[in-house]
């Protein structure tokens, strides 16, 4: 065996140039991908409702946190002759694939809202459409409601979504759970509606399961009981302060663990102050 010291061959100028070109191409592809993701996120933002809406005597605040680049959660509103129709949806899965389905589902909701503003009719129609694509589209959940600004009446139904919480001004807490299965699970499913009256200073909370299923370092789930407690604690504030108080509590609970699912929170309050 030779005792001579091995010397690594020096890369030729042509090889160095080839590697530099490959690196430049990869960097450009990466930059293009980031730009495309950013543009897709902007489309998602434009499809969803503004973070604060005033409708008659009602204020509605919402926030969506994506666990990856593009959220599979959405919150959309449509004003109709019979009231404000709003829907919070949660597409199965995460990231780009789930985010791409958001556009399709919001389109279905708006199409059927143009025909009927009844929540159960919209939910049933969207469910039938999605069931036809069940082999490709992930199962999704949705909470949909129609708010009458004049009477304060809320007609709602859930499609496999976590129950909304209605906190009365006197401290009574109600669970709004009427509805049917997840969208796409049963093609012929019906979605019974519930009806409640939102009176002065009543507050409603609707969230995606990413809120409830946030875990701390001990693998404990945030869950409904903690959500109810934080909701009560924040009750006296504005819709925005209630929203960020609850979100802050969830994030503090889960820290320092990273998010594992998209989180969406919506707060609706009857302020009894006319804005229209």
What is the Cα–Cα distance from 265 to 252, expressed in whole angstroms?
16
Q: 57-67, pLDDT tens digit by residue? A: 999 999 998 87
Other C-beta atoms lying within 10 Å of the C-beta of residue 81 = 5
pLDDT of residue 275: 42
Is 10 inside a domain boundary? no
Residue 150 covered by a domain:
yes
> Are the beta carbons of 32 and 39 closer than 8 angstroms?
no
Lowest mean pLDDT among 22-31, 78-87, 150-159, 182-191: 22-31
Helix (H) or strand (E) holding 171: none
Q: How confident is the model at residue 181 (pLDDT cuts 50, 70, 90)?
A: very high
Assigned token pair, 8: 């690594």
Give the total number of structural domains in the chain.
1
Q: Is position 257 within any domain?
A: yes
Contact call for residues 61 and 271 (beta carbons, < 8 A): no
Q: Residue 16: inside a domain, yes or no?
A: no
The CATH number of whichever domain residue 93 belongs to comes to 3.60.40.10
**pLDDT at residue 206 greater than cutoff 90:** yes
- Residue span of the structural domain in which 65 resides: 40-270
43: preceding bond cis by omega (within 30 degrees): no
CA distances from 79 to 125, 132, 146, 148, 164 (A): 19, 28, 9, 10, 21
Classify residue 258: in a domain, yes or no.
yes
Residue 143 near residue 155, CB atoms below 8 Å = no
Pick the range with the lowest mean pLDDT from 84-93, 96-105, 139-148, 238-247: 96-105
The rounded percent of the chain whose pLDDT value lies above 90 is 64
For residue 52, give both structure tokens. Answer: 């604060």
Percent of the chain with pLDDT over 70: 83
CA distance 120 to 118: 6
Which residues have a Cβ under 8 Å from the Cβ of 102 and sit 6 or more positions away?
Answer: 44, 47, 71, 72, 73, 74, 89, 91
Cβ atoms < 10 Å from Cβ of 151 = 11
Asked if the model's pLDDT at residue 4 lies above 80, the reply is: no
Which is it for the CA torsion 223, 180, 147, 62, positive or negative?
Answer: positive
């Amino acid at each position: 065996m030779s005792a001579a010291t091995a010397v690594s061959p020096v890369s030729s100028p042509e090889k160095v140039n080839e590697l530099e070109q490959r690196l430049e191409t990869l960097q450009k592809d990466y930059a293009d991908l980031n730009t495309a993701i950013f543009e897709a996120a902007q489309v998602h933002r434009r499809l969803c409702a503004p973070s604060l809406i005033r409708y008659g005597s009602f204020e509605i605040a919402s926030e969506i946190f994506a666990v990856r680049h593009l959220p599979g959660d959405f919150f959309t509103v449509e004003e109709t002759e019979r009231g404000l129709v709003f829907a919070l949806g949660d597409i199965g899965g995460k990231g780009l694939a789930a985010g791409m389905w958001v556009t399709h589902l919001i389109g279905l909701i708006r199409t059927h809202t143009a025909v009927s503003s009844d929540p159960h009719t919209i939910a049933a129609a969207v469910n039938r459409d999605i069931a036809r694509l069940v082999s490709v589209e992930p199962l999704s959940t949705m909470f949909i409601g129609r708010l009458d600004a004049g009477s304060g009446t809320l007609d709602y139904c859930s499609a496999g979504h976590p129950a909304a919480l209605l906190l009365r001004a006197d401290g009574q807490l109600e669970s709004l759970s009427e509805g049917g299965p997840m969208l796409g699970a049963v093609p012929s499913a019906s979605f019974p509606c519930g009806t409640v009256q939102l009176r002065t200073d009543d507050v409603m909370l609707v969230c995606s399961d990413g809120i409830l299923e946030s875990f701390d370092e001990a693998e404990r789930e945030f869950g409904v009981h903690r959500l109810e407690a934080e909701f009560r604690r924040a009750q006296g504030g504005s819709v925005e302060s209630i929203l960020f108080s609850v979100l802050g509590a969830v994030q503090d609970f889960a820290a320092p663990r990273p998010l594992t699912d998209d989180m969406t929170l919506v707060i609706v309050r009857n302020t009894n102050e006319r804005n229209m």
